[in-house]
């Protein structure tokens, strides 16, 4: 009996010590920083390039689908131009992450950042102070030309002084930051430019590098953002931000004849569906922004999705009520 007490005593001491070391490590690693190159990107005043950037921001890149304030939600969901002053909340198991102010305000926006610093955030996921960005933005492989276009357009936005508390995370969130969150950079060398057309190749660029179809239509770990499902097979669950109490599960959009949501759709049906915008109130898909895409872009996306590997995975219920 005495021996058992001794074992339990020392077991408790060891466990407590390990727990203390873990807590110390979590807090010590909150300020860890990463290094990444600065892309050689310089904002342009060329009107055509700025127009391209505006199209990306309010169209396929759907920046207006996240970087808006709550009072602009209805306009943003409808794809209308809004002040990109940030504040939209991602409520996650480990806390709340808010989108930053993208206006040219020097104090609360991006006015005080160099072009190369903004480009590094988008391409390599590293803030100017070295912290890693939570990987919500799929722009790591954006072409140099499109990256320049986006930054050039953002530079034209009027300053809006709105301070955003970027994140409020609990201890679990601090542990995620300490041990799991790392910068996500490009896969290979990003192209210098990509010419828009209706080909499957351009659709692949849109789907993976701009519109992020793969980011939502692939199941992911909500703690780390890591992909855990087959590409485009759906199953990723997202609560509605517009309608509390609704949970959406992304459908399978692979060309599987039995379980693929869009398999029966013709190209014309696909394009028409996007032109309709939001059909299910509360849907987290940025229909408002996507209906601003060109016909060439939508055809390219359709043609690429028809070429991906079919996955037999049935999604029984896309929308369900939650408590």
Q: Is the residue at 278 inside a domain?
A: yes
Radius of gyration of the chain (CA): 22
Which pLDDT score is estimated for 127? 93
Each residue's pLDDT tens digit in the chain (323 positions)?
666 666 666 667 777 778 878 888 788 888 888 999 999 999 999 999 999 999 999 999 999 888 988 888 888 888 888 899 999 888 888 888 899 999 999 999 999 999 999 999 999 999 999 999 888 788 999 999 999 999 999 999 999 999 999 889 888 888 888 888 888 889 999 999 999 999 999 999 999 999 999 999 999 887 677 889 999 999 999 888 778 888 999 999 999 999 999 999 999 999 999 999 988 888 989 999 999 999 999 999 999 999 999 999 999 888 888 76
Which pLDDT score is estimated for 319? 86
**60 with 174, same domain?**
yes
The number of folded domains in the chain is: 2
Residue pLDDT, tens place only, 196-205: 999 999 999 9
The DSSP element (H or E) to which 274 belongs, if any, is: helix 267-276
Q: Is the residue at 185 inside a domain?
A: no
- How much of the chain is in helix, strand and coil states, percent to nearest 5? 40, 10, 55
Which pLDDT score is estimated for 181? 82
Q: Is the residue at 121 inside a domain?
A: yes
**121 with 209, same domain?**
no
d(CA 210, CA 192): 15
**309 with 257, same domain?**
yes
**145 with 210, same domain?**
no
**207 with 310, same domain?**
yes
Which pLDDT score is estimated for 3? 65
The pairing of beta strand 95-98 with beta strand 237-239: unpaired
Q: Is the residue at 303 inside a domain?
A: yes
Q: Is the residue at 250 inside a domain?
A: yes
Which pLDDT score is estimated for 107? 95
Residue pLDDT, tens place only, 221-271: 876 778 899 999 999 998 887 788 889 999 999 999 999 999 999 999 999
Q: Is the residue at 297 inside a domain?
A: yes
d(CA 231, CA 250): 12
**205 with 174, same domain?**
no
Structure tokens at 145: 């030309």
Which of 144, 179, 214 finishes a domain?
A: 179
Q: Which long-range contacts link 260-269 to residues 24+ away (Cβ below 8 Å)?
A: 260/310, 261/234, 261/315, 262/302, 262/305, 265/302, 267/299, 267/302, 267/303
Which pLDDT score is estimated for 54? 97
For residues 283-293, one letter each, b for 16 or more C-beta atoms within 10 angstroms of the residue's C-beta and e for the rest, the string is: bbbbbbbbbbb
Which of 179, 208, 242 finishes a domain?
A: 179
Q: Which residues contact 14 (CB under 8 A, 6 or more apart)?
A: none
Which of 119, 146, 179 finishes a domain?
A: 179
Report yes or no: 122 and 212 within 8 Å, Cβ to Cβ. no
**135 with 217, same domain?**
no
Report yes or no: 136 and 66 within 8 Å, Cβ to Cβ. yes
**104 with 220, same domain?**
no
> What is the residue range of 104's domain?
47-179
**63 with 150, same domain?**
yes
**168 with 228, same domain?**
no
Q: Is the residue at 33 inside a domain?
A: no
Q: Is the residue at 3 inside a domain?
A: no
**156 with 221, same domain?**
no
**167 with 272, same domain?**
no
């Amino acid at each position: 009996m005495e021996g058992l007490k001794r074992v339990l005593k020392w077991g408790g001491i060891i466990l407590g010590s390990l727990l203390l070391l873990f807590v110390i490590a979590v807090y010590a690693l909150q300020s860890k920083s990463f290094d990444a190159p600065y892309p050689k990107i310089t904002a342009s005043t060329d009107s055509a390039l700025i127009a391209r950037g505006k199209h990306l921001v309010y169209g396929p890149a759907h920046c207006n689908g996240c970087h808006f304030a709550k009072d602009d939600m209805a306009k943003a969901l409808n794809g209308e131009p809004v002040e990109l002053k940030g504040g939209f909340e991602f409520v996650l198991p480990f806390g709340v992450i808010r989108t930053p102010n993208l206006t040219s305000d020097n104090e609360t926006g991006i006015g005080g950042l160099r072009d190369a610093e903004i480009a590094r955030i988008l391409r390599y996921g590293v803030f100017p102070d070295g912290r890693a960005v939570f990987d919500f933005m799929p722009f790591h492989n954006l072409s140099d030309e499109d990256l320049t276009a986006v930054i050039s357009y953002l530079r034209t936005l009027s300053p809006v002084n709105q301070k955003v508390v970027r994140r409020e995370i609990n201890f679990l969130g601090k542990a995620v930051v300490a041990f799991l969150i790392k910068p996500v950079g490009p896969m290979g060398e990003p192209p210098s430019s990509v010419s828009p057309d209706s080909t499957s190749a351009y659709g692949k660029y849109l789907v993976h590098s701009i519109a992020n179809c793969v980011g939502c239509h692939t199941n992911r770990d909500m703690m780390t953002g890591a992909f855990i499902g087959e590409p485009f097979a759906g199953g990723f669950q997202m609560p509605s931000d517009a309608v509390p109490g609704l949970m959406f599960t992304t459908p399978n959009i692979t060309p599987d004849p039995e379980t693929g949501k869009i398999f029966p759709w013709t190209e014309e049906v696909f394009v028409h569906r996007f032109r309709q915008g939001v059909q299910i109130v509360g849907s987290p898909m940025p229909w408002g922004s996507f209906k601003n895409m060109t016909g060439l872009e939508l055809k390219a996306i359709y043609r690429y999705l028809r070429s991906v590997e079919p996955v037999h995975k049935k999604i029984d219920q896309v929308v369900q009520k939650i408590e």
